[in-house]
Amino acid sequence: MNKSQAKKRIEELRKTTAYHAKRYYDDDDPEISDFEYDMLMNELKNLERQFPELITEDSLTQKVGGTVKEGFEKVTHEVPLQSLQDVFDFSEVKSFDERIREQAKEYGYNDVQYVVETKIDGLSAALEYENGIFVKGATRGNGLIGEDVTENLKTVRSIPKTLKEPIDIVVRGEVYIGKEEFEKLNEEREIQEEPLFANSRNAAAGSLRQLDSNITKQRPLDIFIFNVQKCDSKQFSSHYETLNYLESIGFTVVPRRYLCNNIEEAIEAINKIGEDREDLSFGIDGAVIKVDNIELREKLGTTFKVPKWAIAYKYPPEQKETIVKDIVCQVGRTGAITPLAILEPVKVAGSTISKTTLHNEDFIKEKDIRVGDTVVIQKAGDVIPEVVEVKKEKRSGKEIPFEMPKVCPVCGAPTVREAGEAVTRCIGIECKAVQLRSIAHFASKEGMDINGLGMAIVEELIERDLVKNIADIYKLNLEQIASLKKNGTKFAQNLIDAINASKQNDLSKLINGFGIRHLGTKTSKIIAKRYKNMDNILNASLESINMIEDVGPVIAESVYNFFSQEQTRDLIEKLKQAGVNMEYKEEAGDERFFGKTFVLTGSLEKYSRDEASEIIEKFGGKTSSSVSKKTSYVLAGEEAGSKLTKAEELGIQVITEAEFEEMIK
């Protein structure tokens, strides 16, 4: 490759890596695997090494990835939180050792010991203690300036608020989410129909960088400490000793750490971690090799981006060939139907793989995966097995193409794939696969508001076969509910009272409780008000629903399809027999905002957006997400953005929170 070709390729790589670094570090929403990103960065480094005159300051090889998120206070790190140089084979590890030993001899050191540690797959943070008390915590950011996330870090249980010694110290650690906790977190998000986290690292990063610490508190964050950044009152000579000391004063220190007398022992430790990584309760993305002698470290120094005394060995993803014996479909808790490849069992990265997700219909078509194909699989992020390639040259002609089912494989209800979506869904309200989510949503505040019937209780009721569908809630008796808890009579009576009270809810609450796709509280009220009772809704045509103001064609089709199903009609009949109200209750009251449309922007001091919207709707008004000529008022809070600008351009009346309060007095 000549200089002109290298320059063109370097520019392409800088653009690509900058885009993916932003997705990874700033948005916590990566599009490619860590390995794919590492390979792009490695290619960029090698080209810059060959053509050093093409290196520029804005290249990611010259700086730490990441920026400070808007909304957080900036924190300047007195000691930079640097990145690490990545290596991908043991020849590079040995080259690192040769360079270190050569320089060590110049400084009068005949022997070099190394510490090998697990490289935790999480988000780096610095914790500052004064007199043994935790006073400040910050993310790495760009290495020099991070985000003040003190309040969020205080919610992490494994971070000690007070140390066992009254010492001034700054330490560095990796905030992470364990493997099991990550799976549970994604399961909960699936139930709530929230986007799933791509991996545990981004789940941890997204959780720690929340502007609301109450959200962070709900996430299963943990931390491992792996370095002393600054400590003027205590001198350390060995990194390994500092880790032991940190553990003794109350920190949870990186658990897999090996003191090695030479590079051969270090490579053995790397292999040992690699062999054991499947059994670890947390994710890793490599092993770190560090010079143990702290005085020697200081002499070796650092570049702007990385220390010269440490490297990170990245484990390559192991790939194996196997046969697709069958493709079956499983139905998730949201009704999403996911094709699953049943494989000839094969051992990959320490575990036997006999099945793997094929994601959706588009993924199968893109790779042209057929039953009988020979495929190459690997573990994405060392956790999830995936098909990376089809060996089409090994086809015999007997391979069978796959088609998504037209009906749900669990309940037989129709399946739907909506325009613009990759997912095919079952829309059966009584499908066993979705019973947990549908029952929990029905009982939620947005639905029938049955206080006490939360996710854990619903799970227990299903497990004990006491509830199979929504209507079974109304068959529960005191004795059955009391058996769920020790001394549970009072709890049972309260829940029975809440269940009985829910029978009197307005029709709109019942409609919203069904969890119909695309339907929310606002549209449920519109439909209830338009049709007055459930029988009218059941008899409504698609054309009729389409004609309702503020109900678009996508919502109309979703509503019509739902109420047309035999399962739905059967459920509604059971609810009628249980005494659940099927009538719309006319809302007589103040209609001061009738015919008015509000747009909310920015953050309000006294109300959440949902609360403000509810007040507006209570007074007969409507809310919209976008500003147009039809907008009556724009309610602007702090940090109002482009909606405020557009309102001013269109001459729409902008009101403050104080003015809004005057209007609702």
Separation of alpha carbons 387 and 369, rounded Å: 9
Q: Which of 64, 113, 119 is nearest to 87 (CA)?
A: 119
Separation of alpha carbons 152 and 226, rounded Å: 20
Q: Look up tokens 């509910």; give the residue.
A: 481
- Give exposure, 67-96, as e/b (b: 16+ Cβ within 10 Å): ebbeebeebebeebbbbbbbbbeeeebeeb
**If 0-12 CB within 10 Å is exposed, 13-18 middle and 19+ buried, where does residue 231 land?**
middle
Alpha helices in 75-178 (DSSP H): 90-106, 150-153
CB 439 within 8 A of CB 458: yes
Q: Which of 288, 291, 292, 289 is nearest to 238 (CA)?
A: 292
Separation of alpha carbons 628 and 121, rounded Å: 45
DSSP string, 285-324: EEEEEEESBHHHHHHH-B-SSSBTTEEEEPPPPPEEEEEE
Separation of alpha carbons 12 and 17, rounded Å: 9
The residues pairing with 130 across neighbouring beta strands, listed in sequence order, are 133
The residues pairing with 340 across neighbouring beta strands, listed in sequence order, are 328, 357
Separation of alpha carbons 169 and 228, rounded Å: 8
CB 424 within 8 A of CB 329: no
What are φ and ψ of residue 653, in 5° steps? -70, 125
- Other CB atoms within a 10 A radius of the CB of residue 461 amount to 21
Q: Which two tokens stand for residue 208?
A: 């720690």
Type of residue at 270: I
Q: Which residues, at least 6 apart from 660, have a Cβ–Cβ distance to it below 8 Å?
A: 612, 635
Q: Which residues, at least 6 apart from 367, have a Cβ–Cβ distance to it below 8 Å?
A: 387, 389, 390
Q: What are 50-58's contacts with CB under 8 Å, separation 24+?
A: 50/1, 50/6, 51/3, 51/6, 51/7, 51/10, 54/3, 54/6, 54/7, 54/10, 58/14
CA distances from 518 to 334, 391, 549 (A): 13, 40, 16
Active site annotation includes 119: yes
DSSP string, 25-41: IISS--SS-HHHHHHHH
Type of residue at 306: V
Q: Look up tokens 């143990």; give the residue.
A: 292
CA angle 338, 469, 445 (to 5 degrees): 90
Separation of alpha carbons 653 and 648, rounded Å: 8
Options 3, 94, 105, 119, the catalytic residue: 119
Separation of alpha carbons 21 and 40, rounded Å: 11
User: What is the set of active-site residues?
Assistant: 119
